[in-house]
Structure 1
C-alpha cells in the first residue's frame, strides 16, 4: 500500500475510497490517509488566509489611495469577499479561528499593499483596522486624511 501511495497517488486515493465504501477498514493505509486528511484541513486554512490577505490589501489600497480607486480594485474586493464567504460556508469550523486568520493575513496584506502602492509599510496600522464584519460585509473604507 505504501508503494502505491508513493508511486501513484491518484490510484492510491481511489483504492482508499473503495475500501471505505466496502467497509474494509482494516485494509486502509491509515497513516497516509490521516496525513492526507490533515493536509486537506491545512490547505483550506491556507486558502482562507491567502484570500483574506488579498482582500485586506485591497481594502488598504482603497482606503489609502482613493485617487487610484477603480473597477479592478472593486472587483477584486467583491470576488475575494465572495470566495471567503464560500470557504467559511463550506468549512464552518474555520469561523472559530477567524480573528486569528485575519491577523495572520493582515501581516501579508501590509506587505502587498505597500509593494503595490509605493507607500511605506509604517503608513498602515500595526493591527488590522477592519472588523470581521467589515471584512466580510459590504464595508468600503473612507479615505485616510
Structure 2
C-alpha cells in the first residue's frame, strides 16, 4: 500500500477500500483498519452524548432564563433532537444509549448552564429533572412553573 495511515488518511481510506474490493487481503493494513472501524462506533456514541448535552443545556436555559428565550435556543433544541434521532435510525443498536448517558450528559449541561447563565450551579437540580421521554419529545419544552 502506498499511503500511510498517518500521512494521508483520505488516500489511505481510498486505497484500503480498493484493496477490499479486489480481495487483496494480504496487502490491507489490518491493525489500522480495525482501529478505524472501532472508532466509527465510538463516533456515533460521542455524537449522541454531545447532542444530548447540548439539548439538556438549552432545555435548562429555556426553563431558567425565560426572559432570554430565543429562536436560536429553539433551533438548537430541535436540531439536537433530530440529530439524536438520525443517529439511532442509522444505528438502532444505540436506541438505549441516550438513557445510559442521560445523567452524565445532564451533569455536563448543568455545569455549562451555570457558566453561560452566570447563575450558581446550585440553582439547577443536582439530578436531571427531566425524563428521557420528554427530553426527546419534539413537542415538549420545560416551563418556569416546572422548577
Counterparts of 1:2 and 1:136 in 2: how far apart (Å)? 46
Q: Secondary structure at the match of 1:4?
A: coil
Counterparts of 2:103 and 2:24 in 1: how far apart (Å)? 43
Following TM superposition, by how much is the alpha carbon of 1:91 offset from its aligned partner in structure 2, in angstroms? 2.0
Task: Using structure 1 for the length normalisation, give the TM-score.
Answer: 0.89
Q: Secondary structure at the match of 2:5?
A: helix
**Which consecutive unaligned segments of at least 5 residues does structure 1 have?**
none
**Which consecutive unaligned segments of at least 5 residues does structure 2 have?**
none
Counterparts of 1:3 and 1:86 in 2: how far apart (Å)? 33
Counterparts of 1:117 and 1:143 in 2: how far apart (Å)? 15
Aligned to 1:99: 99
Aligned to 1:140: 141
Task: Using structure 2 for the length normalisation, give the TM-score.
Answer: 0.88
Indicate whether 1:17 and 2:17 are aligned: yes
Q: Number of residue pairs matched? A: 145
Assess if the C-alpha contact under 8 Å between 2:103 and 2:127 holds in 1: yes
Aligned to 2:70: 70
Which is richer in helix? 1
Following TM superposition, by how much is the alpha carbon of 1:35 offset from its aligned partner in structure 2, in angstroms? 0.5
Pick which of 48-57 and 87-96 moved more: 87-96
Aligned to 2:81: 81
Assess if the C-alpha contact under 8 Å between 2:51 and 2:80 holds in 1: yes
Counterparts of 2:102 and 2:67 in 1: how far apart (Å)? 26
Aligned to 1:39: 39
Q: CA RMSD in A?
A: 1.8
